[in-house]
Amino acid sequence: MKRVLLMICSILLVCACVFGLFACAAGLKDIMNIKEYKQADADMANEGIATARDGISQLKENEQVYLDGVNTYNSGLAAYADGQKQLAAGEAKLAAGQKLIDDNTQAYNEGKEKLATIEPLLPLIDTYQQFRNGTIAKLPGFETAQAWFAQMVKPLGAQLGLELPDDVSDLPAYIDEMVADGKVQLKTYEDGLVALEEGKAQLADGRAQLADGAKQLADGDAQLSVYEDGQAQLAEGMLQLLDQMVPCGTEKRGETVPSLAKILGDDFHGVYALNDDGSVKKVRGCDFVDLDACSAVCDGAEEYLSLQEADITGEVLPRIAIIGMMAVASVLGLIAGIFGIVASITGGIKTGKKLGIVSAILAVAANVVGLITGYTDYIYPTRNVIETAGVAPEDIVTTYSGDLQFKAVVVLAVVAVLFVIFASIARKAAKKKVAQAKAQANAAAASVAAKSAETANTERLARLEAENAELKAMVGSLAEETVKE
């Protein structure tokens, strides 16, 4: 029965050791995965932090230039808007002038024709004036200049399309006034045409200036947008760090690494500059970044990475120690199990007890270390991808690591202890059996020796008796010879 129990325990120990070695290999693979992807994450974060610091430095160097540029741009916008108003007013004025010209074009043309009509009468007007003033002799057939005018000049004017009233007392003055008034009206129209063309030229120049101003504003906007894009990218990176650098820990262990937000403290107001009323400061409609706050985020991120690295090391090193002890315990236990199987078959005393004791001690020690370091509640899981850049979040899968090793080391410890117990019992029984066999062998040897001694004594006595008889015979023979003599 004891040998059967040893056989069962030995087989169980071999299975537990094989399982333990498999768990060790899987555990080392998990640890390498955790170290690798966490290092990749840290490298990516450090690279981002370095890039952010360069960006902060550049933005600080150009911050005042940007603000001055914003003021210049806003002034340019105001001037551009004013220019647009002036252009609109000028276009309205030009349109009104054009309408006035259009409305008076016919009158202008008629006025020109009228003046052209009057020109042939001017010599007659001079004659009329001389006749009236008496500077020339009376014209034949006419007593007065007015009569001459009515009979000679007026019909001619009518033929030319000019109606001259009969009651004009001062015909030269009338004609002069008519001519002067017509010339004034024509001059006004012609001046309007000149002013209209000048207005068109001025508007064209104004449009060109506005177009140039619009181009300058577009160029200024593009230059300002470079700074604003840099601010937006910096803010996005800072917010991404705040989102990704979450607390590390479990419900049982608590928080082992604080979040980046907690590291920055309650005084941290975010990555954007604030107005006196607590609202986010805006420049050109964009949230204005607080560069000092961004520098603080970079400092906090570096502290977070340092704390997390120490926390990962604090978790990984005990895991490696447990796996190392479990691996040695599994190898020794495997050898001990093989000895146990052989001993259970042959009944020998070499049950692998000593190796089993060492294996059990290592397995129990691994469990003790695990209990102290929390081998049932590890923080850092494995991840299916190492580099997450360009990988969709839904494609990133994490898996808790440690259950397999926990089960393996517990089973190994329990089985190893049971093996030591039954190996000790079997060894003791085997030694007892060997001792009994030796005792029986010694008794048999003693019995044989006793029988051999008794046989030897009998033979010796017979020899002595024979020698005694021979001696008596010799003595008798000597006595007879003596008597004869």
- Tens of pLDDT, residue by residue over 160-213, are 556 666 565 555 666 666 666 666 777 777 777 777 788 888 888 888 888 898
DSSP code of residue 120: G
Backbone φ, ψ for residue 401 (5° rounding): -120, 130
Please calculate the CA angle 144-147-151 and round it to the nearest 5 degrees.
Answer: 145
Q: Worst-scoring range by mean pLDDT, 115-119, 272-276, 355-359?
A: 115-119
Mean pLDDT on 293-310 = 95
Confidence at 485, pLDDT banded by 50, 70, 90: very low
Closest CA to 225 of 46, 76, 62, 367: 62
Mark residue 284 as left, alpha or beta (left: phi above 0; alpha: psi -120 to 50; beta: remaining).
left
Both tokens assigned to 400 = 């808790």
Percent of the chain whose predicted confidence (pLDDT) is above 70 = 76
Cα distance between residue 231 and residue 34, in whole Å? 34
Quick: pLDDT tens for 388-406: 777 887 888 999 989 999 9
8 A C-beta contact, residue 413 and residue 332? no
**What's the one-letter identity of residue 116?**
A
- In this prediction, residue 424 carries a pLDDT of 83
Say which amino acid occupies 366. A
User: Are the C-beta atoms of residues 166 and 154 closer than 8 Å to each other?
Assistant: yes
**Residue written as token pair 């947008």:** 225
Q: What is the CA radius of gyration of the chain?
A: 64
* Rounded Cα–Cα distance for residues 436 and 22 (Å): 44
| Identity of the residue numbered 236 | E
pLDDT one-digit tens code per residue, 45-90: 999 999 999 999 999 999 999 999 999 989 988 988 898 888 888 8
Helices and strands per DSSP (H, E), number in the chain: 9, 6
3-state class of 170 per DSSP? coil
Q: What is the pLDDT of residue 145?
A: 66
Per-residue confidence (pLDDT) for residue 170, from 0 to 100 = 58
Domains contained in the chain, CATH given: 69-237 (1.10.287)
Q: Give the pair of three-digit tokens for residue 197.
A: 């063309």
CA 326 – CA 14 distance, rounded (Å): 13
Question: 410-458 pLDDT, tens per residue?
Answer: 999 999 999 888 888 877 776 666 566 666 767 666 666 666 666 666 7
pLDDT of residue 393: 78
Collapsing DSSP to helix, strand or coil, 382 comes out as strand
Q: Which pLDDT score, from 0 to 100, does residue 261 have? A: 93
Q: Which of 96-110, 118-132, 364-378, 414-428 has the highest mean pLDDT?
A: 364-378
Q: What pairs with residue 286 in β-bridges?
A: 283
For residue 331 the two structure tokens come to 């190898």
Residue with tokens 């001696």: 471
Written as one string, the DSSP assignment of 238-304 is: HHHHHHH---EEETTTEEEE--HHHHH-TT---SB-B-TTSPBPEETTEEPB-HHHHHHHHHHHHHH
- Which of 100-104, 215-219, 334-338, 381-385 is the least confident region? 100-104
Task: Tell me the per-residue pLDDT of 243-277, one tens digit each, with 9 for 90 and over.
Answer: 999 999 988 889 999 999 999 999 898 999 999 89
Would you say residue 483 has pLDDT above 60?
A: no
Mean pLDDT computed over every residue of the chain: 83
| Best-predicted range by mean pLDDT (39-43, 157-161, 435-439) | 39-43
* Alpha-carbon distance values, 82 to 71, 79, 187, 220 (Å): 16, 5, 34, 18
Structure letter (DSSP) for residue 153:
I
Q: How far is the C-alpha of 254 from the C-alpha of 217, rounded, in Å?
A: 56
